Structure 1
């Protein structure tokens, strides 16, 4: 039920309960499965690289459906000489150092584990402060016109928004596309790379394609993004700026807060459409198959098909792990270049 997801959202700020000690630098991070998005967002932390390191600490974020790739990443880093910190939502005990909860909100726990593990405790705490403020302003008890997430969800209802972010912030477009689809059951179209060639050409041959379309400009405006917004305003129905919610000097905290706002907006969109904000049964079955826990039958989905519950393998001993969650219940993997420190 959407109500259950909203409850989880409201409880999310400050719920990270994993290790807070800093590992040895320098730091690099790669992600697979549900760890992909957090790995992208956390690259705004100073000194955290989004690839591999031969010294210091290599963080590998993953979920059981992408464990083979994560295992390969870890082995490569170990052979190169880096210490490896494996953070996952499940899998074999030998492949885990920190266990975090799976599901849509795993991004928060992955990201906070990285922030603390890379010595950025102040950024992690700043993020929790922004998230706590958003939770107060976006909770279901807040009136329709005073709730920023409900207002934005109403603007997106019945539309497929373009998602645009500034240079170096493309993870925000990915994050909102992911949340709108997974939670809000809505298509969002990310504009990747330089937005100017897109906005100046995409609607020239078919101007009617811009009718009724909305664009979300995510994060703070840089000069190029400001020009792109100005051009876009003459080509589509509505352009909505979605700045960092709150005051912060931390790019990481601001990015995580924008992700959290996207989760609230997506949940209220699901509510408007009469759809569950929880994962589709098809996603749960597909993830189970990729994790080696299912046979893949009826992956296309059918009415009445039940959801396969997320579970911990029998050989996973919680006592061998550092818990990274108090109980809250993404997808893509990429090959990064090997860079030498």
Structure 2
């Protein structure tokens, strides 16, 4: 999953959160007026603080790196405290108890970024609902028009929030899936990458074969080995040897194409599978790599080295079945034939 896709999903998540905050802000502004009219001063004062909270949340979400988890905690905490206060002051059956049911599922799926906080809300909301039911289920402190109005208004608010919450949970779960997929891809990339040269290692070969050579194609298999590499390590040290490996890998990355396969096969050996190419072109590509390496210098302080490589190249015209491991073995045999013929040469068949 690309970074841009994850940023887009987070942007949508923040937008849904803003819409949800606007709905709750409107609800609390209405509550403030209603409670002032019916003379429930403590609830009116409480809603002043609630309105302030839902003015702060959108401001937090507008920041460059919004603290979405903090906003979610504030949101859930405010809803729970407000519902408890309304039931205690006004009694049961006005629709405030429905807020607990609406937010119980939210607690289970929304990520607050802290397991202890998530567990707290998951336990506190159903516990508060049950306690309030046993204490206030037969308590009716407001009757008549305002009772019907509050119940209807709460039903509308809960239904509106349920719709928005469904989008919130969908995007939240999609984000979690994308993040998990990205982590899996990152782990996969690390396991298939040589840590020194930053090209593939031999473990990545099978996946490349499955994806690119499952059907007949013209390709060439190249094995290359740095000449006298042990002498370089023994004379100048392994740090210089590592510089040589990185230099060679970078030259290969500039010569081979993105659809070709390039890996550090082991030690100072490199393997390349050059796809969709004829034999003459493949030979020329490898010869160009050989000449580029031979004319390049590896510098380390005052040390300046000339490095050469010997190559074995086997061509497959894609006309029939092939055994990639036999081709690699044959390229390796040609490579060592080149070593015995003076090195710094491309041997092919």
**When the two structures are superposed, what TM-score results if normalisation uses the length of structure 1?**
0.22
Of the two structures, which has the highest relative contact order with CA contacts closer than 8 Å and spacing of 6 or more?
1
Q: Taking structure 2 as the reference length, what is the TM-score of the superposition?
A: 0.21
Higher helix share: 2
